[in-house]
Amino acid sequence: MSEDERDQLRRKFEAYAENREPRVRDELVTAHLGLAEYLARRFANRGEPLDDLVQVASVGLLKAVDRFDPGRGLEFSTYATPTIVGELKRHFRDKGWAVRVPRRVQELHLRLGKVVSTLAQDLGRSPTIGEIAERAGASEEEVLEAMEAGRAYRFASLDAPAAGDDDNQSMASQLGEDDPLLAGIEHRVALSPLIAELPRREQLILHLRFFEGLTQSEIAGRLGISQMHVSRLLARSLAKLRGSAEED
């Protein structure tokens, strides 16, 4: 940017500080969109689309334009940079996590990326947890907690190939299927105390019929009674259970 262009922008900032004219504001924002995009690119490759980061940085730019005081003698870029970077960091801290974790852990996790990269260059190898903790000014437990929290940054799609699967099967294909017996658990829990109130022989008949799957004739042969008697006892037991359940 030439000196003449900088002078024009200074005058526009002075004019905007006095009249808050939307047109002037738009011109100032447009003139500095390149700065917002440049800062957004510094946060690329962290799991967020660049277009989204540019939008977040643009919000920070708008705030910087509104808050900038040209009377202090600062260059706008000097003032705007920490404002835009702060907006980007807040985005990662507050909206980029699939599972909410404590803010201190989020901030440490975001800081560890730069710490690990710098240490790896200085040491010529991967740093240990102790070395990372010392450079980050945190305990080893806090570093491990922050690294573990990084797994909560985003959900993995169940349709994505499972790790270590050469057949490219999705994670969903390796999950168990629905248990058809689960739907009956609630009914069993509700009926158990009611069944316990029935006479012992009626409890046994219900067990043989509905849990062991015996026919009425098979139950009659096992208990030494007629099939008709089994049928009457079953009907009476079921009627009692139905009436007690409806009362509850």
Name the class of domain 99-155: mainly alpha
pTM: 0.45
Domain residue spans in the chain? 3-94, 99-155, 185-247
Distances (CA, A) of 231 to 121, 154, 221: 83, 59, 13
Asked, colleague to colleague, whether 99-155 and 185-247 share their fold, the answer is yes
CATH 1.20.120.1810 fits 3-94, yes or no: yes
Looking at domain 185-247, its CATH architecture is Orthogonal Bundle (1.10)
Element (H, E) at 61: helix 50-67
Burial string for 48-87 (b: 16+ CB within 10 Å, else e) reads: beeeebbebbbbbbbebbeebebeeeeebeebbbebbbeb
Q: Are 125 and 81 in contact (CB under 8 A)?
A: no
**Tens place of pLDDT for every residue, the chain, 248 residues?**
677 888 888 899 999 988 999 999 999 999 999 999 999 998 887 767 889 999 999 999 999 999 999 888 888 999 999 999 999 888 876 665 555 667 787 788 878 888 988 998 898 888 999 999 999 999 988 988 888 776 665 555 556 665 555 566 666 666 666 666 666 777 777 778 888 888 999 999 988 998 888 999 999 999 999 999 999 999 999 998 888 877 76
- Which of 152, 154, 156, 148 shows the shortest CA–CA distance to 112? 148
